[in-house]
């Protein structure tokens, strides 16, 4: 199975700053089948990015994804107040589906 690690565990930033989140896989993720989700307290996760770099419907263009193989990145170009949340990566190139442990982006 493919294990995902995310770094950093917590990212403390101010609104307007750029956030760079990392997701690393234990083996190559086939066809860049890597997704990113955002989760706010008390809410279900929301799909942001699929296929490593494609934004899901309705997702603002300040969110971007990149990477391939074993190293992937989620970038939020300018943090808005509503972007402070936990972000999970997930691989879907093989089963079982596996989520990373998450990166919390909180207000500095």
Partner 1 sequence: QVQLQESGPGLVKPSQTLSLTCTVSGGSISSGDYYWSWIRQPPGKGLEWIGYIYYSGSTYYNPSLKSRVTISVDTSKNQFSLKLSSVTAADTAVYYCAREGYGDYQVFDYWGQGTLVTVSS
Residues contacting partner 1: total by CB under 8 A = 24
CB of 70 or CB of 92, closer to partner 1? 92
**Is the CB of residue 55 less than 8 Å from the CB of residue 61?**
yes
| 25 binds partner 1 per the rule CB under 8 A | no
Burial 55-79 (b: 16+ CB within 10 A, else e): beeebeeebbbebeeeebbbebeeb
Q: Would you state the structure tokens that stand for residue 77, as one six-digit string?
A: 């170009």
Binding string, 49-78, against partner 1, x = CB under 8 A? Answer: -xx----x----------------------
Interacting residues of 95 by C-beta distance below 8 A, sequence separation 6+: none
| 92 binds partner 1 per the rule CB under 8 A | yes
Binding string, 4-23, against partner 1, x = CB under 8 A? Answer: --------------------
**Is the CB of residue 48 less than 8 Å from the CB of residue 74?**
yes
* CA–CA distance, 86 with 106 (Å, rounded to integer): 8
| 101 binds partner 1 per the rule CB under 8 A | yes
Q: Which residues bind partner 1 (CB under 8 A)?
A: 1, 31, 33, 35, 37, 43-47, 50-51, 56, 88, 90, 92, 95-102
């Amino acid at each position: 199975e493919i294990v995902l690690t995310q770094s950093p565990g917590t990212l403390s930033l101010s609104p307007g700053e750029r956030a760079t989140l990392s997701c690393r896989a234990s083996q190559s993720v086939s066809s860049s089948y890597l997704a990113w989700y955002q989760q706010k307290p008390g809410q279900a996760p929301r799909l942001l990015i699929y296929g490593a770099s494609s934004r899901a419907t309705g997702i603002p263009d300040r969110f971007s994804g990149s990477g391939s193989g074993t190293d992937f990145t989620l970038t939020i170009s300018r943090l808005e107040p509503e972007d402070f949340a936990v972000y999970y990566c997930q691989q879907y190139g093989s089963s079982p589906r596996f989520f990373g442990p998450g990166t919390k982006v909180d207000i500095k």
